[in-house]
Chains A and B, each alone.
Chain A
Amino acid sequence: AQSVTQLGSHVSVSEGALVLLRCNYSSSVPPYLFWYVQYPNQGLQLLLKYTSAATLVKGINGFEAEFKKSETSFHLTKPSAHMSDAAEYFCAVSDPNTGGFKTIFGAGTRLFVKA
């Protein structure tokens, strides 16, 4: 069975500081990995995804994530936080052997950005 763990339910950074949101996965095979962002009372928006191509994945809004098989991690980073980045972030995993059919979401990390 696959699972994903997000370390830290809340992360607070100052505007302009580095953003680092941690995600570790458990899977018997390299999975498809995703980061989604959710603003209050809205659905989820895809930030980026890893599907066994380049290990460093660049997404929208300046975010990127690096797939590290040895650490079973897929941490999300952004060099400089902006106030508009304040939101809930979800890491998710899918099994490519099923065509990415069912996706398991982490518990989420709420990002706070201080002025």
Chain B
Amino acid sequence: GAVVSQHPSRVICKSGTSVKIECRSLDFQATTMFWYRQFPKQSLMLMATSNEGSKATYEQGVEKDKFLINHASLTLSTLTVTSAHPEDSSFYICSARKTGDLGGEQYFGPGTRLTVT
């Protein structure tokens, strides 16, 4: 159990357009989900913490108006990259924590490769 999916796995968009990435916990409820960005050959950079039914908490330096996060249900969080630019091209990974789990473990999605042309 504890499977997290992301859709799409890969997306190419034109500069100035918006792209939505979905993160779903398939077999568990997730009050908290996380969005990370990973540059080639680098570690994961936490962008924001998404809590079901409330506003996301963004890390310092992450533009909340550019990276819109919505966590409307216990199994779905979405990240929308608005007015995308080439510098937004990256690998975006989400993770989810099981509701009530105090063990700290996160379950990761397979990632979404975003390319902005």
Contact = CB atoms under 8 A, between A and B. Distances in A.
A28 interface: no
Interface stretch (B14-22, B38-46, B64-72, B75-83): B38-46
B104 A108 contact: no
Contacts of B44: 44, 90, 105
B103 A100 contact: yes
Given A94-B104, A100-B104, A41 B111 contact: yes
B43 A106 contact: yes
**Chain A interface residue bracket vs B:** 20 to 34
Contact of A49 (B43, B103, B107): B103
B85 interface: no
B32 interface: yes
Interface in B84-102: 91, 93, 95, 97, 102
Contacts of B107: 46
15 contacts: A34-B105, A41-B91, A41-B111, A43-B109, A44-B93, A44-B95, A49-B105, A51-B103, A90-B43, A96-B104, A100-B97, A100-B102, A100-B105, A103-B104, A108-B43
Interface of B: 4, 6, 32, 34, 41-44, 46, 49, 91, 93, 95, 97, 102-111, 113
